[in-house]
Amino acid sequence: MSKFSTLIFISGLSFLLIVITAQLPIAHPPMLIGQYIIDHAVQDTGVTNIVTSVVLAYRGLDTLGELAILFTAASGVGLLLSNKLNTKLQPSTKTVRLSNSNFIIEHALNLLFPLLLVVGFYVIFHGHLTPGGGFQGGVIIASAFFLNILAKPYKSSDSEIESTHNNLTIIESLSGVTFIAIGLYALISGHDFLEPFLSHGQLGSLWSAGTLPFLYIAVGLKVGAELSSLLITLYDIDSEELTD
């Protein structure tokens, strides 16, 4: 009976959504602020990818908030799944890592790893010119490092994992602080927070768009480090519960 009422609710809701959608100006949006940004973004910020100018300049505070959310999620995962206490209490769980890797995977990885890194950094560095940027590149870098751990699980000892965590934490912090520091520099020198400075340079060249590429590099490093540490924490086989 409850399923029946749910179905009625759902069909009513979809009808409502269709009615609402019919009222929208489909394919002819009003673009009150969008048109202004399209017209002025190039003079204002010196980018060719206008979405980047929105992400980093017009709505830079959103991006900072977004980085903070990702950081919060990674902190939360670390807070919940750091089973240091557990492993101490459970001497029976062995620390032998599962080695379901093989020769082919390892050597394919050796080939793939630098390639992935190059692609990731390319996407980050060209964020103001072509589609892509810090987020996408950061994910690619994170996946490159995570593949490394997936393919060679038995080669990394506990101390190595610990030092990886240390390094990741430091990269995470420093890149986040760099993003804010670029913004704060503008604030202290009498402008608004996150206001782009430096000259715009030649439109379309790699060194252009003032501070925006630096912001994207900071975003890329932060996203990469955060997602790597998140994946490593989630994947931590040591705290695998049901292995007995």
Tell me how far CA of residue 244 lies from CA of 48, 240, 241, in angstroms: 57, 10, 8
Minimum CB separation of residue 110 from other proteins in Å reads 21
Nearer to other proteins, 75 or 156 (CB): 75
Question: What is the end-to-end Cα distance of the chain in Å, rounded?
Answer: 43
Nearer to other proteins, 187 or 206 (CB): 187
Q: Which residues of 15-53 are buried (b: 16+ CB within 10 A; e: fewer)?
A: eeeeeeeeeeeeeeeeeeeeeebeeebbeebbbbbbebb
Minimum CB separation of residue 182 from other proteins in Å reads 11
Nearer to other proteins, 33 or 108 (CB): 33
**How many CB atoms neighbour CB 203 within 10 A?**
13
Distance CA 101, CA 110 (A): 13
Distance CA 97, CA 156 (A): 9
Nearer to other proteins, 18 or 111 (CB): 18
Minimum CB separation of residue 29 from other proteins in Å reads 6
Minimum CB separation of residue 141 from other proteins in Å reads 10
Radius of gyration in angstroms for the set of CA atoms belonging to the chain, rounded to a whole number: 23
Minimum CB separation of residue 149 from other proteins in Å reads 11
Q: What is the dihedral of CA 144, 227, 231, 88, to 10 degrees?
A: 130
Minimum CB separation of residue 105 from other proteins in Å reads 15
Nearer to other proteins, 154 or 207 (CB): 154
Q: Which residues of 59-90 are buried (b: 16+ CB within 10 A; e: fewer)?
A: ebeebbeebeebbeebeebbeeeebeeeeeee
Nearer to other proteins, 193 or 214 (CB): 193
Structure tokens at 14: 């979809």
Nearer to other proteins, 12 or 114 (CB): 12
Minimum CB separation of residue 235 from other proteins in Å reads 5
